[in-house]
């Protein structure tokens, strides 16, 4: 580990000598711009969207993309571009908040499982295993069946279904950190165990977790869209991408834009978020960087 | 009864900082070649009859091959593991009790790890790392913390701006200095250092050794220094204890032990140290035996060049041998014998 043995160059300014991350990773930069575009569009949807997303217009039903309706209209004459822009709001809200729920639950369960031993760890791990045994979509469907429909319910259902994978990664990190020498050194100083957890174990676990969060937002968005596509997520007038794809499905042979546009918006956001998440992980994960 | 005994030892004026009396540490390990699924275990004697006294203000080097039990002994000294046999005392009190009772022991006995980088939380700055013991033991009021950190960093020869850096940005030598500063922050009277200068280049080693010696002199520290480098041991420590297969085979003043070793193993170690302008001397014959399968009689008899008949029958204990020295050998080398083995 101690590669640099000489004393001379006091903390070589590694950061400065390396080129900016935006230049080194062009795909990351593009993806970041796209993702930020979605976020801005979602934030300022009322100013960006040309029409009211739920305003129906009988004169403009199922119009193909034109200058008046850039992405066309759907079977109720609602402007698809406006609906896609407002849909980004729901996608991002559901994605971010459900991942936060999943990460918080995963952190608690993972910490408890990683730090405790014996039957408690066994019970927690079996709980995690049982959550992991089902794909998150199936699990989310089950939670929706219990909770009912609506945006808030979708957030909770998707969040709960993501606790499993989060707690497993947290536990793995905890098991790795708790045997490190600096934890023993803190114990040697007779620092109480809870304080050691708070001060030394938690910060070393939180960071990889934050990276996981950025990666899993796209998964949460996908699951929530799948729920709406199946018709059990958010309720119809809401401009949600999954819902829009489902609505256009019947007309796909002669009005393909109705499903394709929200589908394209969804795919683009997911790809952008994945690239951003991977870039962040590769850039800041000490495990991947240590070899360099 | 034991309590009464320890009480009297506490009040005695010459109570040593550490005293190990016939300390044993036996780990149950799977029996080699046991059948599948069998739970058969066999005791691995990592420490076997260790006797050691470390007086206040002394500096002791603990020397031995890898696998000789140095690290196990260290864990017993620090109270991380309870010995499975014998008694390990800290100022007349069992070490485990001393550790369990308040923060006094933790404050008084500081440790510098061999893997200094691993012993420092990579997500804390150097300043926060050094300040942690200050705050934990309540050594200085909050307002003076920064000043004390700067003072400690200066004491170990680090620039003041090092406080804002992270361990990953420091070199191997600087990291050891941080570890030493952190150890000194609790104002200990005992400093235990595990291979604190190994793996560094020679000039850095020399700087650190000078620093440690200066600290020991100025602060009156009791120093327990684990090393495999006899040169480091003789520079830094007045006393030396040589371990072989879980037992201390020779102790005494460093100069006397190294110039006239009484135990054949000590003589062999001394002879094996490389010297300038001389060919590498013949190494000891054979491998260090497995602690699972100790030789009968003296544990060194299988490799000893001066082994005699009774060496394979009787296990020698550490016994007095001249002024302040002790050796665990049935036939300690006389001075001429030592000379002879060195020439050989």
Whether A185 sits inside 8 A of B113 (CB atoms) is yes
Whether A1 sits inside 8 A of B118 (CB atoms) is yes
Residue B9 has pLDDT above 50, yes or no: no
In whole angstroms, what is the distance from residue B188 CA to residue B105 CA? Answer: 9
The pLDDT value recorded for residue A100 is: 92
Nearest CA in chain A to B79: A188
The pLDDT value recorded for residue B81 is: 84
Whether B165 sits inside 8 A of A181 (CB atoms) is no
Q: What ipTM, to 2 d.p.?
A: 0.75
Closest CA of chain B from A172, distance in Å: 18
Sorted by sequence, the CB contacts under 8 Å of residue A214 that are 6+ apart come out as: A273, A276, A277, A280, A281
Of A2, A14, A190, the CB nearest to B106: A190
In whole angstroms, what is the distance from residue A195 CA to residue A285 CA? Answer: 25
For residue A234, what are its two tokens?
A: 């958010």
Residue A63 DSSP class: P
Q: Which chain A residues are within 8 Å of B199, Cβ to Cβ?
A: 2, 5
Whether B170 sits inside 8 A of A185 (CB atoms) is no
Over range B336-342, report the average pLDDT.
Answer: 45
Output the CA–CA distances (angstroms, integers) from residue B96 to B40, B90, B105, in the order listed. 29, 9, 10
Interior/surface letters A224-257, b for 16+ CB within 10 angstroms, e for the rest = bbbbbbeebbbeeebbbbbbbbbbbeeeeeebeb
Residue B94 β-bridge partners? B89
Q: Which chain A residues are within 8 Å of B175, Cβ to Cβ?
A: 2
A276 membership: H or E segment, kind and range: helix A257-284
3-state secondary structure (DSSP) of residue A79: strand
Residue B122 has pLDDT above 60, yes or no: yes
- Is A184 within 8 Å of chain B by CB? yes
Residue B137 has pLDDT above 50, yes or no: yes
Closest CA of chain B from A189, distance in Å: 5
Q: Kindly give the confidence (pLDDT) of every residue in chain A, 292 residues in length, as a single tens digit, with 9 standing for 90 and above.
A: 444 444 444 444 444 446 677 777 788 888 888 888 888 888 887 787 777 777 777 777 777 777 777 777 777 777 878 888 888 888 888 888 999 999 999 898 888 888 887 788 888 888 888 888 888 888 888 888 888 887 888 888 888 888 888 888 888 888 888 888 888 888 888 888 888 888 888 888 888 888 888 888 888 888 888 888 887 877 777 788 888 888 888 787 787 787 888 888 888 888 888 888 888 877 776 555 444 3
Residue B92 has pLDDT above 60, yes or no: yes
The pLDDT value recorded for residue A101 is: 92
Question: How much of chain B exceeds pLDDT 90, in percent?
Answer: 0
- Is A58 within 8 Å of chain B by CB? no
Beta strands (DSSP E) in A193-264 are none
In whole angstroms, what is the distance from residue B50 CA to residue B73 CA? Answer: 9
Residue A197 DSSP class: I
**Mutation test of the interface with chain A: which of B97, B133, B171, choosing the one with the most A Cβ atoms within 10 A?**
B171
Q: How confident is the model at residue B2 (pLDDT cuts 50, 70, 90)?
A: very low
**Span B178-206, pLDDT tens digits:** 998 888 888 888 898 888 887 778 888 88
3-state secondary structure (DSSP) of residue A24: helix
The pLDDT value recorded for residue A287 is: 52
In whole angstroms, what is the distance from residue B140 CA to residue B142 CA? Answer: 6
In whole angstroms, what is the distance from residue A107 CA to residue A162 CA? Answer: 11
Does residue B112 or residue A250 have the better pLDDT? Answer: B112
Q: How confident is the model at residue B335 (pLDDT cuts 50, 70, 90)?
A: low
How, if at all, do strands B190-194 and B109-112 pair?
Answer: parallel
Residue B194 β-bridge partners? B226
In whole angstroms, what is the distance from residue A137 CA to residue A213 CA? Answer: 18
Exposed, middle or buried by CB within 10 Å (0-12, 13-18, 19+), for A4?
middle
The pLDDT value recorded for residue A288 is: 52
For residue A264, what are its two tokens?
A: 């394209």
Residue A76 DSSP class: T
Q: Are A231 and A142 in contact (CB under 8 A)?
A: no
Q: Is the dihedral of CA B206, B211, B215, B218 positive or negative?
A: positive
The pLDDT value recorded for residue A97 is: 92
Whether B80 sits inside 8 A of A1 (CB atoms) is no
Nearest CA in chain B to A6: B171
Q: State the Cα torsion B143-B145-B150-B152 to the nearest 10°.
A: 140
Sorted by sequence, the CB contacts under 8 Å of residue B207 that are 6+ apart come out as: A7, B157, B173
Closest CA of chain A from B119, distance in Å: 4
């Amino acid at each position: 580990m101690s590669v640099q043995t000489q004393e001379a160059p006091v903390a070589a300014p590694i950061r400065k000598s390396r080129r900016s991350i935006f230049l080194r990773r062009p795909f990351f930069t593009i993806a970041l711009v796209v993702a930020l575009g979605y976020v801005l569009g979602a934030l300022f949807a009322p100013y960006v969207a040309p029409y009211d997303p739920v305003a129906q217009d009988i004169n403009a039903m199922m119009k193909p993309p034109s200058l008046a309706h850039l992405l066309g209209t759907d079977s109720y004459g609602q402007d698809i571009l406006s609906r896609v822009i407002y849909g980004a709001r729901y996608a991002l809200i559901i994605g971010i908040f459900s991942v936060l729920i999943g990460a918080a639950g995963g952190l608690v369960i993972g910490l408890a499982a990683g730090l405790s031993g014996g039957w408690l760890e066994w019970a927690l791990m079996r709980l995690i295993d049982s959550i992991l045994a089902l794909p998150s979509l199936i699990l989310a469907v089950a939670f929706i069946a219990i909770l009912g429909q609506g945006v808030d319910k979708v957030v909770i259902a998707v969040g709960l279904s993501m606790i499993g994978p989060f707690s497993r990664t947290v536990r793995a990190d905890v098991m790795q950190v708790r045997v490190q020498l600096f934890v023993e050194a803190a114990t040697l100083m007779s620092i109480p165990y809870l304080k050691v957890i708070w001060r030394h174990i938690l910060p070393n676990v939180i960071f990889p977790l934050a990276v996981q969060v950025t990666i899993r937002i796209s998964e949460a968005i996908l699951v929530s869209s799948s729920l709406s596509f199946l018709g059990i997520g958010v309720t119809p007038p809401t401009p949600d991408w999954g819902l829009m794809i489902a609505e256009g499905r019947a007309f796909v042979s002669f009005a393909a834009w109705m499903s394709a546009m929200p589908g394209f918006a969804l795919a683009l956001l997911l790809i952008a978020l994945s690239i951003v998440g991977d870039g962040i992980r590769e850039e800041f994960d000490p495990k991947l960087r240590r070899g360099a | 009864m034991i309590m009464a005994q320890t009480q009297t030892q506490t009040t005695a004026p010459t109570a040593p900082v550490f005293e190990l009396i016939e300390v044993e540490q036996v780990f149950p390990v799977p029996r080699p070649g046991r059948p599948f699924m069998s739970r058969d275990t066999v005791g691995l004697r990592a420490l076997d009859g260790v006797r050691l006294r470390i007086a206040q203000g002394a500096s002791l080097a603990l020397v031995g091959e890898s696998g000789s039990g140095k690290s196990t002994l260290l864990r017993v000294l620090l109270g991380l593991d309870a010995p499975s046999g014998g008694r390990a005392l800290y100022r007349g009190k069992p070490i485990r009790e001393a550790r369990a009772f308040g923060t006094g022991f933790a404050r008084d006995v500081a440790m510098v790890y061999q893997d200094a980088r691993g012993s420092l939380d990579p997500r804390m700055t150097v300043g926060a790392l050094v300040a942690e013991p200050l705050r934990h033991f309540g050594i200085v009021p909050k307002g003076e913390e920064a000043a004390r950190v700067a003072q400690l960093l200066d004491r170990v020869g680090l620039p003041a701006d090092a406080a804002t850096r992270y361990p990953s940005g420091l070199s191997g030598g600087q990291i050891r200095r941080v570890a030493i500063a952190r150890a000194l922050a609790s104002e200990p009277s005992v400093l235990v250092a595990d291979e604190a200068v190994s793996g560094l280049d020679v000039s850095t080693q020399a700087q650190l050794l000078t620093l440690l010696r200066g600290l020991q002199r100025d602060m009156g520290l009791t120093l327990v220094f684990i090393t495999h480098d006899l040169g480091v041991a003789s520079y830094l420590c007045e006393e030396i204890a040589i371990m072989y297969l879980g037992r201390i085979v020779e102790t005494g003043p460093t100069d006397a032990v190294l110039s006239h070793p009484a135990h054949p193993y000590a003589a062999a170690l001394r002879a094996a140290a490389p010297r300038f302008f001389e060919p590498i001397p013949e190494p000891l014959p054979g491998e260090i035996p497995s602690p699972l399968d100790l030789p009968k009689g003296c544990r060194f008899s299988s490799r000893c060049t001066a082994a005699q008949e009774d060496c394979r029958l009787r296990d020698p204990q550490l016994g007095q041998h001249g002024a302040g020295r002790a050796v665990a050998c049935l036939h300690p080398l006389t001075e001429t014998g030592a000379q002879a083995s060195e020439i050989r």
